Amino acid sequence: MTVTASRIRAARWPAVRPWIGVAARLGLAAVWLVAGAAKAEDLAASGRAVNAYQLLPYDVATVVGAALPFVELALGVLLLVGLATRLAAAVSAALLVVFVAGIASAWARGLAIDCGCFGSGGELAAGQAPSYLPEILRDVAFLALAGFLLIWPRTPVSVDGWLAGPPVEDEDE
């Protein structure tokens, strides 16, 4: 009997998938922790960055900007320890879709802003070109990590994994 390459790959997937999940979980956790920490240093700047998108009234934008770093930090901590991973991935995915839509909207409307994703953000100085496409592609890659965790949230070295006990062989979550 000949073993095909696809059968070998299919046999490896159950062993590799949990560790890909760990990498996705920790990678997304790092993104949220770095982004949240950078914004938490200056909440007023975070509010100005949200306001630069010109999608919300000023008062609402400043509140969103002040709250966003703490949401990001909470998501980062949850993903880091692997607690409520599917919920954290769902909220992450929703935020990333909003971020992509906001950046695309700014691009379509001809605004020249820094996304504020990892710091102050806001309007760019005259002559500075925005980098919307790389920002959108980066956020889509993060969205893929969140999507992976939505489908397969249970990973080794996580509180979720410890609470659930050993995996059932045919469990598809």
Other Cβ atoms within 10 Å of 107 Cβ, number: 16
Q: Is residue 8 part of a domain?
A: no
What is d(CA 56, CA 67) in angstroms, rounded to the nearest whole number?
A: 14
Q: Does 1 map to a domain?
A: no
Distance (Å, whole) CA 36 – CA 46: 10
The answer to the question of residue 140 being in a domain is: yes
Nearest to 29 by CA among 100, 98, 77, 68: 77
CA distances from 92 to 22, 158, 162 (A): 16, 18, 22
Q: Give the pLDDT score at 173.
A: 45
Q: What pLDDT shows up at residue 8?
A: 63
| Domain assignment of residue 11, yes or no | no
Residue 33 lies in a domain: yes
Please give the pLDDT value at position 103.
96
163 lies in some domain? no
Alpha-carbon distance of 106 to 112, in angstroms, equals: 8
Q: Is residue 87 part of a domain?
A: yes
pLDDT for 33 equals: 98
For the chain, list residues with pLDDT below 50.
Answer: 170-173
In the prediction, which pLDDT does 87 show?
97
Residue 4 lies in a domain: no
Range of the domain at 129: 16-154
pLDDT at 166: 66
How many distinct structural domains can be found in the chain? 1
Q: Is 122 helix (H, G, I), strand (E, B) or coil?
A: strand
